[in-house]
Amino acid sequence: MNILGINAYHANARQVGAQLSFDTRFLGLGPNLRGLHLEVEMAGRREELHADSVVGAHGASPVARTAGWPPIDIRGSAAFFSGVCLAEAGHEVICSDIDSERIAQLQASRMPIFEPHLDRILAAARNSGRISFTADAGEAIRGGEAIFICVGTPPKESGDADLSAIDHVARQIATEARTPKLVIEKSTVPARTGIELRRALTAYTRNGNLNFRVASNPEFLREGTAVEDFFHPDRIVVGVDEESSAADLREIYRPILEHRFHCPVHEGKCPPGHEGKFLVTTINSAELIKHASNSFLALKISYANVIADLCEKIGADVEEVTYAMGLDPRIGAQFLRAGLGFGGFCFPKDIQAFIHLAASVGVDFDILKAAERVNKQRIDRYHEKISKALWVIKGKRLAMLGLAFKANTDDIRFAPALEVLKRLLSEGAQVHASDPEAIAKTKSMFPQALYHEDPYEALRDADAALVCTEWECFRTLDWERAGKLMARKLVIDGRNLYRPQHMRELGFEYYSFGRD
Ligand code: UDX
């Protein structure tokens, strides 16, 4: 890796930093780590607990530091990805979290989540001393001139985003800072949060001479491809109200913009033609861009799902329809996959927050409400398919292939598969589930189900196979072999992974979405 080149650039750079946070929850009676979130469910009441974390980037490299460069610092979950990737890009990064157990885990180089490539680059960054972890947020805050806030912004009951973690971090920054800071929102926040953040920083500080600049730098990383997305972004959006803030952010991202890194995904052979745009906007626009993008993608998925329903009624094939639609560059091929719908910690909460934001300023965003409704109905539609195929669910042995909300992650937050699992268990089915990464997290929530690392073991003696996550290993499953193990050759595919004709040729009774 061209560390010296990166150092040289940093030797001239202003010192900047970022603050990110892990959003931590508890579920059930004991601690149940679900990614970086903890939920507490007691006496039927569910509460979300949030823990701040800080990922701090210090200067550029050991070389730059010995040259006397003060550190930078950073703070989240996608933020954790960014922090590790910034270290890989040549920065020096400190991560801090008020969950000292989590910090201890990271200090021991244990990955809290599964994300392709991340373990490798985290180990490399730790070995080279470019990343470290601390429970002392003050230390990280004081160390840098710029701080990225990436705390969780979960939906409140009203659908509005809960910004209490941002407020908490603002107070921490304002009280711990001894020098001027560039404070950058990385969390997904409703538009106009930047204005409130600036106000909070000014209100909470005891030093009226301290200047806090505020900027917005929304995160577009997808789970499962976060590392690739970080190093090959379509766009890096920075919302600023001062030119110097844009200049600082450009410096942070310069290694990416100038392709001055050793790509951990493509091992130096990155596909050509991927030039990410560095976009400078107002803070309000940057905040809106993130919500507008995620909500549009969610809308696109729901649109494809309604087309699938229509296809079923009319006798058309949704794959044929969406494929042809996607060839039109004005529409684009991505996010038109029909099936069980969207889950995860971003789309469901972001769409709700956007609906709420629009309503709060008197703008009618009913199309988003419809997209949300369609998505919730996907589980009903799938359950109907299962009930229709099986007649009676109680007592049936069912193989569930996939638990995570999407492939290549162990994240089960708002995973459609879990909704399906919950209903089947409540109706007395015996569920044998398999997932390459998400078993551990699901097991503690649903101990009644049986879990198998090997999907063929889940399929043994099953009355039906239910495909709930689009993992490649399920797409390429040997159904001839599976068919010999199953009690009944029935597949109900929630992700349209297989060709109906092929499955029928193999002797399966096969149901999917929007296809005969
Ligand atoms: C999303 C955004 O894509 C990313 O830019 C943002 O930073 C965070 O939120 P992520 O939550 O990782 O990323 O998942 P994504 O790949 O967008 O998929 C979301 C859900 O939609 C998954 O449950 C997936 O299975 C589902 N999906 C996706 C479909 O049902 N059909 C599709 O065509 C695409």
Please state, in angstroms and rounded to a whole number, the distance separating the CA atoms of residues 389 and 509: 9
Q: Pairing between strand 212-216 and 450-451?
A: unpaired
Residue nearest to atom 26 of ligand 1 (CA): 342
- DSSP code at position 394: T
Predicted TM-score (pTM) of this structure:
0.84
Environment class of 315 (CB within 10 Å of its CB; exposed 0-12, middle 13-18, buried 19+): exposed
Please state, in angstroms and rounded to a whole number, the distance separating the CA atoms of residues 306 and 375: 9
Ligand 1 center from residue 493 Cα (angstroms): 19
Place of tokens 């239910």: 466
Ligand 1 center from residue 107 Cα (angstroms): 30
Q: Hey, is 282 helix, strand or coil?
A: coil
- 261 phi/psi in degrees, rounded to 5: -155, 160
How crowded is residue 28: how many other Cβ atoms within 10 Å of its Cβ?
Answer: 14
Whether the Cβ atoms of residue 261 and residue 218 lie closer than 8 Å to each other: no
Choice from 342, 350, 475, 497 to test ligand 1 binding pocket (greatest atom count within 8 A of CB): 342
Residue ranges of the chain whose pLDDT lies below 50: 1-76
Place of tokens 């922090």: 83
- pLDDT at position 6 is 20
N- to C-terminal Cα distance for the chain? Answer: 52
Please state, in angstroms and rounded to a whole number, the distance separating the CA atoms of residues 330 and 257: 26
Sign for the CA dihedral angle at 414, 418, 420, 423 comes to negative
Ligand 1 shell residues, CB under 6 Å: 219-223, 294, 297, 301, 335-337, 339, 341-344, 346-347, 405-406
Ligand 1 center from residue 377 Cα (angstroms): 18
Choice from 289, 335, 471 to test ligand 1 binding pocket (greatest atom count within 8 A of CB): 335
Please state, in angstroms and rounded to a whole number, the distance separating the CA atoms of residues 151 and 169: 8
Smallest CA-to-CA distance from 437 within 114, 167, 186 is with 114
pLDDT tens track for 476-503: 999 999 999 999 999 999 999 999 999 9
- pLDDT at position 307 is 98
- DSSP code at position 335: T
Please state, in angstroms and rounded to a whole number, the distance separating the CA atoms of residues 256 and 238: 14
Residue nearest to atom 10 of ligand 1 (CA): 222
Smallest CA-to-CA distance from 468 within 455, 454, 482 is with 455
- 307 phi/psi in degrees, rounded to 5: -60, -40
Ligand 1 center from residue 303 Cα (angstroms): 14
Cβ-based neighbours of 499, under 8 Å, separated by 6 or more: none
Residue nearest to atom 6 of ligand 1 (CA): 220
Q: Hey, is 62 helix, strand or coil?
A: helix
| Catalytic hit among 150, 346, 468, 473 | 346
- DSSP code at position 448: T
Residue nearest to atom 28 of ligand 1 (CA): 335
- pLDDT at position 77 is 60
Ligand 1 atom at shortest distance from the alpha carbon of 298: 21
56-to-62, 253, 408, 419 alpha-carbon distances in Å: 15, 15, 27, 37
**346 classed as catalytic:** yes
Ligand 1 center from residue 192 Cα (angstroms): 25
Ligand 1 center from residue 48 Cα (angstroms): 23
